[in-house]
Structure formats: structure tokens, C-alpha cells
């Protein structure tokens, strides 16, 4: 029942945003895409306990794959989305064979290294990727041959929201399944899960691969919505900001990823427009305040308020 209410509020918020900010749909589409990206991190960090600061590796691979597919093969958006998902999942699977053998800080550094290597590869093969100039010439065809992408961004926004809803439903089903419960058990105690016969390594690789698929979808959406892919899709800053968004909203509950992303990007947009030089101070203060007052993230704020009200005087 709680999930149904959550999805209803999610759809309502998307509709209100569509009509309340008709000339800011490019920005709101970026917010939706980042929500998908942060959800991919929540699956591996919030549910499985895999440390990462290099999720941009899968996001960037999905963006370049979808962009190259659009330029050289087909402009069909859904096909491009599938290609981006496969690219993100493929990079995640191959890299996880090494990453899942490490723990803690070593694992964290390796995830960053993967993203940096892929960035250098994209820069090296500039004849195909455009290098520092970026990959251009992406012009998505009408969705299902019916809905054409418009200049204002209405179709692009609805398209991104529909993909977000599909990803959210998939992750809700996945995390509630025996597989999802096994991931939470692995996060709490890998040794205990091994003792009861759970193939911990295979579960981690599977989770990392699925998260890569979702990150690849986000990257493909970004490529299609902006019609450009640059080397910045592999930036460390992208992964780091996504982690902050997840911490703001609350890890391991999916809805927190959506809340944290919406608040972070909205505050970022307003703060940067008010003071382009010191907006990071406002973001930092926000993060510190949330971590201090609500360690579980903004999603845990109602529970924290109830606890304070019930505290005996």
C-alpha cells in the first residue's frame, strides 16, 4: 500500500512539474535522468554494500554507446536505450570480475580507476567519439514513430519520466524478491550469508551488472535528450555528486534516491544562479545539516520528528 501511494505521488509530482515549469523542462528532464542514475547506485551501495565512486563508467559507456548507435546505425530512441543498457551492463560485468575481489578503500579506488581508463579510451579514439569536442549529430527519431522530440522538451520529459517509472517498478520488484533480500543479507554480513550457502560473489556481480544496466539507461537518456556526448560523462564529479544525492535522501530505500536528487539539483540550480562562485558553500551546509540532524537521510525525517515528539520531557 505504501508503494502504491509512493508511485501515485511520484506521478502527481511529475504532472505538476510539467504544467508548473513548462519552460524549464530541459532542467527537469536532467533531474529525472539523474534520479535513474542515483537509483543505480542505491542498488549496489544501499542494498548490497558495494562501495563505489566510479558509477560514471557505466553512465558514460551507455551515453557513448547510444550516441554512436544513433549516429551510425539508427536514431530509434528505444533501440538506443537498449544499446546503452547493454553497454552499461557489459562494462559493469567485466569490471566487477576484478572489483568484487577487493574490499573497502581498494574497491573504491578501483571503481574510480575504471571510469578514468574509459575516459582516456574515449579521448584516444577521438575519430569515433569526438574526443574533447564531443560526439554530436545525435537526433532521435520520433518515439515509436509517433511522438517527435520538440524544441521545448515536452516529449523528452515525458519519455524520461516513463523510463524512470519503469526502472522504479523493476527495482521495487527486484529488491522485494528473494534475490533482493539476499543482497541485503550480504550487506549486513557476507560471512553469515556464505555460511548458509549463498553464492556471495555471484550475487554481488549480478547486482553490479544490473546497476550498470540502469546507469547505462540513464546515460543513453542523457545522450538523446542533449543530442551531445562529451568526455564529462566519465567525470569523477558526476559519481561524487550522485553519492551526495543518495546520502541526502537516504540509502537503501529507493525513494530516498528520488528525494535527494530532486532537492540537491534544485538547490544547486537556485544557489548557482544567485551566487555562481560560492554555491558549493550552500550545498555543503545542506549536506552537513542533513547528516547531523537526520543521519538516515531526508526520507527518515518523519520518523525522526515522531521520535522527538514522543521523547519524554
Per-residue pLDDT of the chain (313 residues; tens, 9 = 90+): 677 888 999 999 999 999 999 889 999 999 999 999 999 999 999 999 998 999 999 999 999 999 999 999 999 999 999 999 999 999 999 999 999 998 888 999 999 999 999 999 999 999 889 988 889 888 888 988 888 888 778 999 999 999 999 999 999 999 999 999 999 999 999 999 999 999 999 999 999 999 999 999 999 999 999 999 999 999 999 999 999 999 999 898 899 999 999 999 999 888 888 877 777 788 888 888 888 888 788 887 777 677 777 765 5
Phi, then psi, of 143 in degrees rounded to 5: -65, 125
CB 212 within 8 A of CB 63: no
pLDDT at 313: 53
- CB 204, CB 48: distance < 8 Å: yes
CA distance 105 to 234: 20
How far is the C-alpha of 302 from the C-alpha of 294, rounded, in Å?
10
pTM as predicted: 0.94
Q: Give the up-direction half-sphere exposure of residue 224: CA atoms within 13 A in the CB hemisphere.
A: 37
Q: Which residues contact 276 (CB under 8 A, 6 or more apart)?
A: none
Specify which residues 81 forms β-bridges with. none
d(Cα 138, Cα 229) in Å, to the nearest integer?
9
**In the block, which residue shows the cell 523528452?**
156
Q: What is the pLDDT of residue 70?
A: 94
Residue whose grid cell is 518515439: 143
Amino acid at each position: 500500500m505504501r508503494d502504491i501511494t509512493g508511485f501515485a505521488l511520484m506521478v502527481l509530482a511529475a504532472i505538476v512539474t510539467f504544467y508548473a515549469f513548462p519552460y524549464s523542462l530541459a532542467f527537469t528532464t536532467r533531474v529525472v535522468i539523474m534520479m535513474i542514475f542515483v537509483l543505480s547506485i542505491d542498488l549496489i551501495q544501499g542494498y548490497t554494500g558495494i562501495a563505489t565512486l566510479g558509477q560514471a563508467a557505466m553512465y558514460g559507456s551507455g551515453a557513448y554507446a547510444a550516441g554512436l548507435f544513433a549516429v551510425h546505425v539508427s536514431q530509434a530512441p528505444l533501440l538506443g536505450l537498449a544499446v546503452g543498457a547493454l553497454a552499461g551492463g557489459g562494462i559493469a560485468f567485466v569490471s566487477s570480475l576484478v572489483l568484487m575481489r577487493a574490499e573497502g578503500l581498494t574497491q573504491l579506488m578501483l571503481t574510480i580507476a575504471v571510469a578514468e581508463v574509459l575516459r582516456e579510451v574515449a579521448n584516444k579514439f577521438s575519430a569515433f567519439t569526438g574526443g574533447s569536442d564531443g560526439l554530436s549529430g545525435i537526433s532521435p527519431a520520433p518515439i515509436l514513430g509517433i511522438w517527435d522530440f520538440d524544441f521545448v522538451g515536452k516529449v523528452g520529459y515525458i519519455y524520461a519520466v516513463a523510463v524512470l517509472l519503469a526502472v522504479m517498478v523493476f527495482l521495487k520488484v527486484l529488491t522485494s524478491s528473494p534475490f533482493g533480500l539476499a543482497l541485503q543479507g550480504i550487506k549486513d554480513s557476507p560471512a553469515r550469508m556464505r555460511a548458509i550457502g549463498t553464492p556471495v560473489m555471484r550475487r554481488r556481480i549480478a547486482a553490479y551488472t544490473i546497476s550498470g544496466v540502469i546507469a547505462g539507461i540513464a546515460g543513453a537518456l542523457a545522450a538523446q535528450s542533449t543530442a551531445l556526448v562529451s568526455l564529462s560523462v566519465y567525470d569523477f564529479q558526476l559519481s561524487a555528486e550522485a553519492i551526495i544525492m543518495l546520502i541526502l535522501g537516504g540509502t537503501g530505500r529507493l525513494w530516498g534516491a528520488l528525494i535527494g536528487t530532486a532537492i540537491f539539483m534544485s538547490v544547486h540550480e537556485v544557489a548557482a544562479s544567485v551566487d555562481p562562485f560560492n554555491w558549493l558553500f550552500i550545498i555543503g551546509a545542506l549536506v552537513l545539516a542533513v547528516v547531523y540532524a537526520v543521519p538516515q537521510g531526508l526520507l527518515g525525517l518523519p520518523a525522526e520528528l515522531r521520535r522527538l515528539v514522543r521523547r519524554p520531557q
